[in-house]
Amino acid sequence: MESYSSDAVILHHLDYGEADRIVTFFSLERGLIKGFARQARKSRKRFGAALEPFSTVHVRWQAQRSADLVTIQEADLIDLRSGLRHDLLALALAAYGCELIENLLGEIGPQPEAYQLLNAFLNHVHRQGGSPDARLIFELRMLNLAGYEPHLLHCSRCGGPVCTEQVAFSASLGGGLCLECASGTDVQHLSPLSLGSLSRILQAPPTLFEGFRFGPQTLQEGGNAVTSMLKRHLCRPIKSLSFLDQLSEGSRRVAAIR
């Protein structure tokens, strides 16, 4: 048995038997880990609220080379982010973000930039609530960190400029296209403004979420472009996405009535 410790974000947990829990966490030092937390449900003294999803904690665990699950020994709470639990849209967006980390990055060892991005995203949603802007920023930066950054300033096919009146985007061809190259089954058209906004997201410091405010057209066009890229690279469909989409649609309708 080897012992490890690291700061980590709790992604989700699953009840096991009468008293135990299986906890998936994204650690700064070791990346994605699944651990067994004995007595986590029965004894509040043992872990307190430290294993609640979306918390940042310091975890200590032991691992055997042959076992899939590590044994979680202790977890000290650093930030519970209680604000996420009072707002359904914020909660759904946080769950989606955590699932995206697990799905897109998988078990490939430590990824400190993705760890910092997830913490910044959860802090933002905890303080400001869920928003389509935060979702778009997080999705695009995740694509970038996973190595699937779309071409935004040049045509993915010919390398020429894409700053014309209308530009195209194709997930299968890797991003923006000039109009001469815009042919294919998955080509969508968007405004240069939307493409420019996506580019600004990637040029800004990677943990900055404040100060972005996108218009409805950018949210829709940019959102469609990024979603189509994500779909090509996910290991499996995201379970929390349909709930998030339902809630987002509901809040869009309420905003339109007001």
The residues of the shown chain that bind Zn ion, judged by CB under 5 A, are 155, 157-158, 160, 178, 181
Pick between residue 9 and residue 177 the one whose CB is nearest to Zn ion: 177
Helix 192-203 vs helix 132-145: crossing angle, to nearest 10 = 70
Least distance (Å) from Zn ion to the CB of residue 158?
3
Least distance (Å) from Zn ion to the CB of residue 180?
5
Pick between residue 112 and residue 160 the one whose CB is nearest to Zn ion: 160
Q: Give the integer Cα–Cα distance in Å for 19 and 221.
A: 47
Our CA dihedral for 77, 79, 81, 82, rounded to 10 degrees, sits at 50
Least distance (Å) from Zn ion to the CB of residue 235?
31
Pick between residue 21 and residue 151 the one whose CB is nearest to Zn ion: 151
Residues 34, 10 contacting (CB under 8 angstroms)? no
Pick between residue 129 and residue 192 the one whose CB is nearest to Zn ion: 192
DSSP state of 154: B
Nearest to 58 by CA among 116, 9, 3: 9
Least distance (Å) from Zn ion to the CB of residue 160?
5
Q: How many CA atoms lie within 13 A of 227 on its CB side?
A: 14
- Three-state DSSP at 166 gives coil
Residues 207, 118 contacting (CB under 8 angstroms)? no
Least distance (Å) from Zn ion to the CB of residue 172?
15
Least distance (Å) from Zn ion to the CB of residue 148?
20
Helix 216-233 vs helix 192-203: crossing angle, to nearest 10 = 70
Pick between residue 142 and residue 178 the one whose CB is nearest to Zn ion: 178
Pick between residue 109 and residue 159 the one whose CB is nearest to Zn ion: 159
Q: Give the integer Cα–Cα distance in Å for 53 and 22.
A: 12
